[in-house]
């Protein structure tokens, strides 16, 4: 536990970070309306600066990018650069980061709660992501990069809010239905940037629905954000009269927003619903009310087909390569992500030249429903299974719990079982039963993807 001095120092550091966000927020918001050529020029400038930093300060990138003429590098040349995988990142972390003081062990200590504070070395933030393979990825952000990351998430929301005269006197109070752990991106950003004039309240989804409803009723948020698969659950609580809130905007995050879920949410609250797509690697879309936009000023996103070739406009991709242009502390250059994105041709009626995409397909992690009312969101399991010793896992729903297969080393199965049974019992499931099995490998879908959550489907006749 931190000493009182450390707590005060952490609060002071967060206050300075909020101030830094406020300094850059207007500029990042103005970029939404930059013309296409200015966006292209910014990407070229940022790409050259990123690669130059990577070559100069990252031994791993220096070896991979040798021979690149940084001064003449353009976005069109990026296809000549090698790709990165999560295994590359985690196996070579200490040689990839551009501050030699930062190590993987230090970052692990932050996300596992052993570090004793939010900030690494007084300025860096670390977040974790399980990813489609089940292996935890770690991502460390520099001071300005962390503020820019948050600005990139909220700028379209700010633009929308400021353009609606009916919201002029409405306070922005945000409730985020998401991960409980502070190492998850949504929770970590909220923990840093909540302030008196922009309060953000984390409402963890791994607790009984009664507790979630009570907390939301207490907060009465004007902006409701949450996992796409969980928002229909709270909408049902509102339809039943137990949840009494009137959000003016709803933002679905972290998972694909299915059309039927969007329709239900809109029907319940009569508020615009934005589809927020993002990843711990630092790419976050913006919703203008008519389209979903990529952050063209901050990232290069390359949809690819099943053969790894570029996917054209209006052609659904089988994956993406992302280059985060604003976080030189951890140069992510053509980093492979299994999400499916479909870039749309043409310009948006909202006036922004930023690239439009169809509603992200992503990966749908299904919730488990027991009986008529007990819902276990995937994060109930993720929060325990995001363990550094587990490289892959699959959760199959059982009658009174789940059967889990893990590819792991140095993991106590009994501890995992106990923690997960405790969480399920906390949701109201009577006498839950969880089994954990060590396996050498987990079979994948024909596409090569791992289906991590396998709910029981209703029998068909």
What is the structure's pLDDT at 441? 80
Tell me whether residue 14 is in a domain: yes
Strands 137-141, 200-204: pairing is unpaired
Residue 461 has pLDDT above 50, yes or no: no
Q: Comparing 45-54, 123-132, 369-378, which segment has the lowest mean pLDDT?
A: 123-132
What is the structure's pLDDT at 450? 65
Question: In which band, very low, low, confident or very high, does the pLDDT at 391 lie, cut at 50, 70 and 90?
Answer: low
Question: In which band, very low, low, confident or very high, does the pLDDT at 145 lie, cut at 50, 70 and 90?
Answer: very high
Which residue from 127, 121, 253 is spatially nearest to 200, judged by alpha carbons?
Answer: 253
CATH of the domain at 180: 3.40.50.980
Which residue from 261, 257, 308, 317 is spatially nearest to 285, judged by alpha carbons?
Answer: 257
What is the structure's pLDDT at 4? 39
Per-residue pLDDT averaged across 264-274, rounded?
93
Same domain, residue pair 312 and 425? no
Q: Which helix (H) or strand (E) holds 265?
A: helix 259-269
Residue 26 has pLDDT above 70, yes or no: yes
Residue 399, helix vs strand vs coil:
coil
Tell me whether residue 282 is in a domain: no
Q: What CA–CA distance (Å, rounded) separates 301 from 334?
A: 8
Same domain, residue pair 125 and 44? yes
Per the rule left: phi > 0, alpha: psi between -120 and 50, beta: everything else, 122 is left
Question: 382: domain range?
Answer: 368-454
What is the structure's pLDDT at 132? 43
What is the structure's pLDDT at 324? 97
Q: What CA–CA distance (Å, rounded) separates 292 from 352?
A: 11
Per-residue pLDDT averaged across 24-40, rounded?
96
Same domain, residue pair 402 and 421? yes
What is the structure's pLDDT at 228? 81
CATH of the domain at 378: 3.30.300
Same domain, residue pair 10 and 118? yes
Domain boundary among the residues 248, 276, 304 is at 276
Question: In which band, very low, low, confident or very high, does the pLDDT at 180 lie, cut at 50, 70 and 90?
Answer: low
Residue 341 has pLDDT above 90, yes or no: no
Q: Per-residue pLDDT tens for 68-106? A: 999 999 999 999 999 999 999 999 999 999 999 999 999
Residue 27 has pLDDT above 80, yes or no: yes
Q: How many domains is the chain built from?
A: 3
């Amino acid at each position: 536990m931190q000493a009182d001095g450390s707590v005060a120092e952490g609060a002071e550091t967060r206050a300075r970070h909020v101030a830094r966000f406020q300094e850059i927020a207007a500029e990042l918001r103005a970029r939404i309306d930059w013309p296409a050529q200015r966006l292209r020029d910014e990407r070229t400038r940022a790409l050259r600066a990123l690669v130059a930093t990577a070559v100069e300060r990252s031994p791993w990138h220096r070896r991979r990018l040798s021979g690149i003429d940084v001064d003449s590098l353009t976005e069109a040349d990026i296809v000549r650069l090698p790709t990165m995988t999560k295994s590359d990142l985690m196996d070579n972390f200490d040689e990839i980061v551009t501050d030699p003081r930062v190590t993987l062990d230090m970052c692990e200590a932050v996300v596992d709660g052993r570090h004793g504070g939010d900030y690494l070395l007084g300025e860096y933030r670390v977040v974790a992501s399980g990813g489609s393979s089940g292996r935890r990825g770690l991502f460390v952000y520099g001071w300005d990069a962390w503020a820019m990351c948050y600005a990139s998430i909220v700028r379209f929301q700010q633009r929308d809010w400021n353009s609606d005269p009916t919201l002029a006197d409405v306070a922005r109070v945000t409730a985020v239905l998401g991960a409980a752990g502070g190492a998850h991106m949504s929770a970590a950003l909220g923990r840093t940037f909540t302030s008196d004039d922009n309060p953000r309240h984390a409402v963890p989804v791994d607790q009984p629905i009664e507790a979630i409803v009570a907390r939301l009723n207490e907060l009465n948020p004007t902006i409701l954000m949450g996992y796409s698969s969980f928002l229909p659950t709270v909408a049902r609580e509102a339809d039943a009269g137990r949840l009494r809130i009137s959000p003016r905007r709803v933002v679905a995050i972290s998972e694909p927003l299915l059309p039927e879920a969007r329709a239900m949410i809109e029907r319940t609250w009569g508020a615009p619903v934005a589809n927020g797509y993002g990843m711990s690697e630092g790419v976050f879309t913006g919703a203008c009310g008519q389209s979903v936009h990529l952050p063209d000023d901050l990232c290069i996103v390359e949809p690819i087909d099943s053969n790894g070739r570029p996917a054209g406009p209006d052609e659904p991709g089988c994956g993406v390569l992302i280059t985060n242009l604003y976080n030189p502390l951890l140069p992510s250059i053509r980093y492979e992500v299994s999400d499916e994105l479909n870039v749309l041709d043409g310009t948006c009626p909202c006036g922004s030249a930023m690239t439009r995409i169809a509603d992200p397909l992503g990966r749908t992690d299904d919730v488990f429903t027991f009986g008529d009312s007990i819902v276990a969101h995937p994060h109930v399991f993720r929060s325990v299974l995001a363990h550094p010793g587990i490289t892959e896992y699959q959760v199959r729903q059982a009658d009174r719990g789940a059967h889990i297969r893990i590819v792991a080393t140095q993991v106590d199965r009994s501890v995992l079982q106990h923690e997960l049974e405790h969480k399920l019992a906390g949701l109201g499931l009577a006498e839950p039963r969880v089994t954990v099995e060590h396996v050498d490998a987990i079979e994948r879908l024909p596409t090569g993807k791992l289906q991590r959550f396998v709910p029981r489907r209703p029998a068909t006749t």
